[in-house]
Amino acid sequence: MAEQKVYCASAASDVYRAISTVLGRERFWAEQAPEADGVISFVLADGRKDESRIEHAIQDQVYELRYFGRTLTFRLAPAAAGTDLTLTSDDTGDAPELVSLLLRLKASVDFGVDLRNHDASRSVRYADS
């Protein structure tokens, strides 16, 4: 299992909204991420696509989904004037990707900034993919 953490100065409700809504996900994670019947249709900058089933969702606390064959779990905990966010994957090799995803999420919710480069040729193994 891979696990990474980040502190967000934003409230848990804002962080949860970023990971659990179409608009939120498209601001930091995917080029497209519509959802229907508990399945998110991800389209990433490099063209990869996945039908990711939402496995578990508790508002402002937990958001878990099957994502490209592995389970990603976001756990939110209130912290002094913000949120501690832990992201785990059942794939032990995911640590670099988790760090990138968390930092893009933090930039989006705390500063309204999209750190992605939106360049399909620079997406795999780039922190700003």
Residue 6, classed as helix, strand or coil, is strand
Nearest CA to 107 among 77, 74, 85? 85
HSE, side-chain direction, 13 A CA sphere, residue 36:
4
What is the CA 81 to chain-centroid distance, rounded? 21
Give the pTM: 0.92
- 83-95 burial string, b = 16+ CB within 10 Å, else e? bbbebbbebeebe
CA distances to 42, 54, 119, 129 from 75, rounded to whole Å, are 21, 14, 30, 23
pLDDT in tens, the chain (129 residues): 999 999 999 999 999 999 999 999 999 999 999 999 999 999 998 889 999 999 999 999 999 999 999 999 999 999 989 999 999 999 887 788 889 899 999 999 999 999 887 777 776 666 656
Domains and CATH numbers, the chain: 2-122 (3.30.530.20)
